[in-house]
Amino acid sequence: MKTTKQFIITLISLYILFGSGYALSGTWPALFGKDATTSLAPMLENVLPGVVNIATSGTVAVKQNPMYNDPFFRHFFGAVPQQKRRTQSIGSGVIVDARKGYIITNNHVIANADTIFVTLNDKRKLKAKLIGTDPETDVAILKVKPDNLTAIPLANSTALRVGDFVVAVGNPFGLGQTVTSGIISALGRTGLGIEGYENFIQTDASINPGNSGGALINLNGELIGVNTAIVGPSGGNIGIGFAIPINMAEQVMQQLIQHGSVKRGLLGVQAQDITPELAEALGLDTTEGTVISAVTEGGSAQQAGIKPGDVIIRIDGKPVISSAKLRNTIGLKRVGESVDIELIRDGQKKHFKLTIKQADVDSGRVSNIPLLNGAEFSAIPRNHPLYRQVDGVMIASIKRGSKIWRSGLEPGDIIVSANRKPVSSVKQFLKIAKKTRGELLLRIQRGNQALYVVLR
């Protein structure tokens, strides 16, 4: 009797664990093969050749004592040569186009890399070419010789649900290809400060250092996300991992492949989430959507007729549930694209058609100031730790190998003064730089550290 009861309990447990999940992941044969054994192995046999290990090496400038860049010190002791050191890193990547040899990974996996090598599941080692990177979403695209490669098919990440079973594949701690499993713990995670544009899938499948850039797949063997970050003490796994949804990553990937960079769109508004109190004051029956608190003069939103107090609820027919969703949606649009915006104004729904303009980051691109060639500048974005803490201009990006890159400056640095003059806008900073003859003295705020850098 006891044995029969245990057997029945076991059957019920197996049904709950596996049977109830098939509505979202496919049939038994699709998951386990025709023998219907409780194993992920048949599915993984098709997936593992599409996940690669990535090893990089490069050179970065060593941070110098700010005193070395002080004009008074340099007058008496001369310039101190910039010291450099070699770096190495490991990570993972996913083959997304076997015919052309494209691999998607994280930007932070290949940052500062001079050489990139990819090791395939069959132990072949290939040199990779960097096609493009987007630090704001932490996406990078590599290309290798398309010789007998296997790509992982892409899923539709908007169809994911909390509780879906997932499998993470990567190269944790440089051990080699490793598989872990779990479920989707949450969707649409934002406000973590990990990336500029966040819409993470959260999972309890073990993700550790070295897993970055690896695959998060569903039980049909389709790519649903790119593993990116973890939350845990000392960088260890405690069951809170994050992946970039593949729909978001694919949008960035297409721009990087076609143009080598991402041209971010700008709507020209400031928006905020709707609290219950704000919803009541605005006469709304929901907290979904985002209310416009300010409209930029001359921006596409103002030209289209959008006003402060308008509540945006849809873009191109898709719900906008928060200000983060609005920022992600517009930020992934290509400059020049037209979008349809549905909003609520005074209790009435209205539609506006407008064209996305260039974001501030592009207004800071310089080509006629030799000292700044290779860099882009922007206002300090809202997600930056120093937003509203200091006045200045942020270095949005730096081209590897450029003169300004060799000076030791880094993306995310805040320029608070130029030639001892405070700067509060990109236009003001570029005006000072344009008038400079010889050396340009910059005062930089990097986290809690302040330093001087001389460009010459």
Could you say which of 92, 108, 157, 206 is catalytic? 108
Structure tokens at 417: 């003064």
Chain centroid to CA 131: 16
Identify the bridge partners of residue 433 per DSSP, sorted by sequence position.
none
At residue 170, φ and ψ (nearest 5 deg) are -170, -160
Identify the bridge partners of residue 225 per DSSP, sorted by sequence position.
216, 245
Could you say which of 138, 204, 310, 413 is catalytic? 138
Chain centroid to CA 170: 18
Catalytic annotation on 108? yes
For the chain, give the number of residues: 456
| Amino acid in the structure at residue 171 | N
Angle 61-408-59 from CA coordinates, rounded to 5°: 30
Catalytic annotation on 384? no
Q: Specify whether the CB–CB gap between 315 and 328 falls below 8 A.
A: no
Catalytic annotation on 114? no
Three-state DSSP state, 377: strand
For β-strands 178-189 and 269-273, DSSP reports them as: unpaired
Could you say which of 89, 92, 206, 212 is catalytic? 212
Q: Specify whether the CB–CB gap between 76 and 128 falls below 8 A.
A: no
Gap between the Cα atoms of 318 and 329, Å rounded: 10
Widest CA span in the chain: 94
| Amino acid in the structure at residue 53 | N
Three-state DSSP state, 158: helix
Q: Active-site residues: which are they?
A: 108, 138, 212
